[in-house]
Amino acid sequence: MSLITAYKALRKVKTIIVRPIYTPIARLFFYLNGATVARNLNVNGFLQMEVTRRGKLTIGESLHLNSGDYHNVIGRQQKCIFWVEGTLNIGNNVGMSSTAIICNHQISIGHNVTIGGNVVIYDTDFHVLDPQIRKDKSLDKQSAKKAPVCIGDNVFIGAHSTILKGVTIGQNAVIGACSVITKNIPANEIWAGNPAQFIRNIT
């Protein structure tokens, strides 16, 4: 057996051994954070998660997560990150890869949603524009604007996109890769760019 063949065989064996542990560990991690998770969770990789005492995380059936360096390798890999200080609801049959969701207020993700690699979803500005307020970290966080994010059923969000606070994305909408969503997207439309603009209707 050549060195190349041995290396590839070892890599395959590692995958076969390690992959079955990801989902049980993720389910335990969700449980310890007080999350409600329906059946058919499927996780590849380890997650990063914190649900605060006032946070609430609810996950529907058949959530599929690719998290970390070796899963859905399209570049800029990271763990899936869930920071929940508000209310985060994820519907049935949702898939995401290396996604960061920061929920300080309220985020809702519908059913049959596909979220591409390295997408980030924020329902807060994190900081205020006034430099005097930013000097006080506690006041800065308290004063930062927050608004709900709502992602409708059957939405597809392209890789490396950013979804900002106060945005509603209508059902069946498609968001092009690397887009920045700053305003509402109507149902059945394709938007892309920074900031995202209307491209065309879905035919």
Indicate if 127 belongs to the active site. yes
Cis bond before residue 195 (omega within 30° of 0):
yes
User: Looking at residue 133, what is its pLDDT?
Assistant: 87
| Closest residue by Cα to residue 89 from 78, 105, 70, 77 | 105
pTM listed for this prediction:
0.90
d(CA 12, CA 10): 5
Residues near 5 by beta carbon (within 8 Å), at least 6 away in sequence: none
Rounded to 5°, angle at Cα 182 from 179 and 183: 115
User: Looking at residue 118, what is its pLDDT?
Assistant: 93
DSSP string, 115-143: E-TT-EEESB-SS-S-HHHHTSHHHHHHH
d(CA 154, CA 197): 20
User: Looking at residue 5, what is its pLDDT?
Assistant: 79
Rounded to 5°, angle at Cα 158 from 69 and 191: 160
d(CA 60, CA 65): 13
Q: Please, what is the end-to-end C-alpha distance for the chain in angstroms?
A: 53
User: Looking at residue 15, what is its pLDDT?
Assistant: 66
User: Looking at residue 3, what is its pLDDT?
Assistant: 80
The CATH homologous superfamily of the domain defined by 22-201? Hexapeptide repeat proteins (2.160.10.10)
71-124 pLDDT, tens digit each: 666 666 789 999 999 999 999 999 999 999 999 999 999 999 999 999 999 999
User: Looking at residue 70, what is its pLDDT?
Assistant: 67
Q: What DSSP character marks residue 57?
A: E
Residues near 8 by beta carbon (within 8 Å), at least 6 away in sequence: none
**Structure token digits, residue 24:** 């049980």
Residues of the chain with confidence (pLDDT) below 50:
none
Residue among 64, 105, 111, 127 flagged as catalytic? 127
Ranges of each domain in the chain: 22-201
